[in-house]
Structure 1
Amino acid sequence: MRRLLVLVSCFCACYASQSKGVVSLDSFTFDKVLSKFKVSIVKFDVSYPYGDKHEEFVKMSSVYQSIDELLVAEVPVKDYGDKDNEDLAIRYGLTKKDFPVVKLFVAGQPEPYTFTDEEFNQDKLQKFVSKHSKTIVYIGLPGTLEKFDQLAAEFAKEKLADQRKNILLKAENLWDSIEGKQKQRSAEIYVKTMRKALEKGDEFFHTETVRINNVLKGSMTNEKKADLGIRLNVLESFKVQHDEL
């Protein structure tokens, strides 16, 4: 890992990003750096990016600072002078009018995934990364837990009530072994979500998501807002798997 950090530092020393936590890449470093990471999320943009979308991308990068397998980067493209990095834009069929464009490169995948959600914000970007990276490395949403996400996937795919009850039992036992106040709270949300889904059916995943989003439109403390955000992220662990069936 130390060698990798030195490598990235050397590559980027002359191409320092103006965005904290985001590595700036160019035509010479792009392939070399991306090849060292299992997952890379890259924003192609103008040479001096600004605006809400740029700020949301930078906010997202701060969440992933501790994940060694994930690179958050940007490619500044100039359409004047030497037209730096224009070749990278051409490679992916991009023009200035498209910017910013976010692509997710996953090791083993021949082509990158493109972020297409109309809502360009930190939450949507994190869900985009989590959804498409799960086949190679676990990159969970804030407040989610890897082992519980695995159980959530099993639960969502299983149709037999008895089998779902067995998965719930595994989740309850795992909850008992979890340490730490925040992890305990997250584990509780997973378990209660499974219980409600057993009671009300898969429609609960949708109705609960709508309900929480409506509640978030009102006034509340930051603590309450954060808790509701974790509930939504846990629901996503069930919903994404269910939607892919």
Structure 2
Amino acid sequence: MNTVLALLLSAAVINVVVSQEDPTESLAGVYDLTPADFDKVVNGGKHALVEFYAPWCGHCKHLTPEYKKLGEAVAKDPKLKNSVVVAKVNADDHKEIGEKFGVRGFPTIKFFGRGKPTTSPEDYQGGRTSEAFLGYLHEKVAADKGFARIGSLDTLARDFLAAADKTGAAAALKTAAEKLDEASRAAGMLYSKFAEKAATKGGEFFKTETARLERLLESGKVGANKAAEISQKLSVLTAFSPDDEEEDEATKEKLSAAEE
């Protein structure tokens, strides 16, 4: 009887140890931010999910294994990796960051939307599991994917991809873009610019330009304004992807799986 009890107690202790980890531990796919680099990483160029923790906080210790799974999952998913930053901040050591964003308890998790002011993040109110975090991020990325897209020009972009006369199709895009109202014209002219370059350089331009811009974002060397500009360009470039509809279906399937 004593042996059985000892084994049960041992198993309970092991379970507690496994389910609680040091929040200060470096996690794959998760940035450890300080005042020196916070604004460089959370700059509006990508969506950012940030945990504000204290090393002594029990709830933070329980969250660490799930955050670890989240970082690994994002690192393995090319689409999420190119669209999302997962990070954590020791807000006990760096109180100024916590105070800046109104952190009152631990852990506090905030979402910084791509292209939105980093001074006004959303409070994350969802579940504290890696699956819940992933579902939330997939939803945000899916909703935001075409933020700079314009329906009428999307149609002309598809026409461009199918056209034998690329120069003429690019000219049609430019004419349509010039007729847009002032609020939409900047994004519209990106359609025209990309079509003209593809007409000259060939269809591979869209892939190479997308890769170039994604590398710039991932470098962390661009400021908030430049990051937002790059994100707008990447959004418009998705209109020229022949796999766009297939990607949307794949995203829907991931969201459905996360909800289940």
Q: Which has the higher relative contact order, 1 or 2, with Cα contacts under 8 A spaced 6 or more apart?
A: 2
Between structure 1 and structure 2, the one with the greater Rg is 2
Give the TM-score, by structure 2 length: 0.43
Give the TM-score, by structure 1 length: 0.45
Task: Give 1 or 2: higher helix fraction.
Answer: 2
